[in-house]
Structure 1
């Protein structure tokens, strides 16, 4: 579903359909037009989907509110392996919740958050937690 110009309204329908899919392990919604409003629908999906391992939402516009919403839920998710929030207008404002999620999610091994508006100080915090938790964060630019 990546590169489909999907909008927040599309997320309502996609999330409803995927809520009943008990085997879905991967969702790729990268390169769409999703904002925090669309994340609200996706958050409901993440809560009920206990098989989700790969969640890619890169190159959207979820911002800090969307990142906080998702990371708060993923903090209690015990199957997530890979999360991509690259290029989503995320700033230092959501950093504490993101770091808490990284520390709490033992299954998370790949986390991409590059090309956002994160200060050098918080990039260093991300690198430190990633190293401690054995999470690959790629090239954090």
Structure 2
């Protein structure tokens, strides 16, 4: 369903009917027009999507209220391994909300938060919570606004994460 410019009403309809897709593992909803309201409908339906392993929500103009709903409901996605939230509008406040929900996302192996206007404040909180993602192999944080001190914090933090083998901090 990616790249279809689905609006809020389409997100609402999808959320209402997704329960019929009981074995759904890969949900590609990137490049739509959900914005916060659409993502709220989708997130509130996460309890019907327990089998999701890969979730793509990039390029949906999600900001703080969408991040808040996502964080509140992501615990229902008990099989989630691959999460792409890149190229949204989270900024520091949104990424902090998501980072505070990392304890609900222990199965995540790949996390993409690139191009979300994350600065030092958000990056610092993110690194303080990243240890909850005990299965993390890859994290993409490129295209944000983190300075050298936070980049060093990232390096220092991920040194102790044995399974982590790829960190992208380019273009910060």
Task: Give the structure-2-normalised TM-score.
Answer: 0.75
Larger Rg: 2
Match of 2:20 in 1: none
Q: How do residues 64-83 of structure 1 correspond to structure 2 at under 5 angstroms?
A: 64-83=92-111
Query: How many residue pairs were aligned?
Result: 141
Match of 2:161 in 1: 133
Match of 1:29 in 2: 57
Q: Deviations over 1:22-50 (max 9, x none)?
A: 10111101112110111112112212222
Higher RCO (C-alpha 8 Å, min separation 6): 1
Unaligned runs of 5+ in 2: 1-28
Q: Deviations over 1:61-95 (max 9, x none)?
A: 01111111111111353211111110101111123
Task: Give the structure-1-normalised TM-score.
Answer: 0.90
Unaligned runs of 5+ in 1: none
Q: Deviations over 1:86-136 (max 9, x none)?
A: 010111112332112222321111111111111111112212322331421
Whole-angstrom CA distance in 1 between matches of 2:36 and 2:57: 11
- Report the RMSD for the aligned CA atoms in angstroms: 1.6
Runs of 4+, deviation exceeding 6 Å: none
Does the 8 Å CA contact 1:123/1:140 hold for their aligned counterparts?
Answer: no
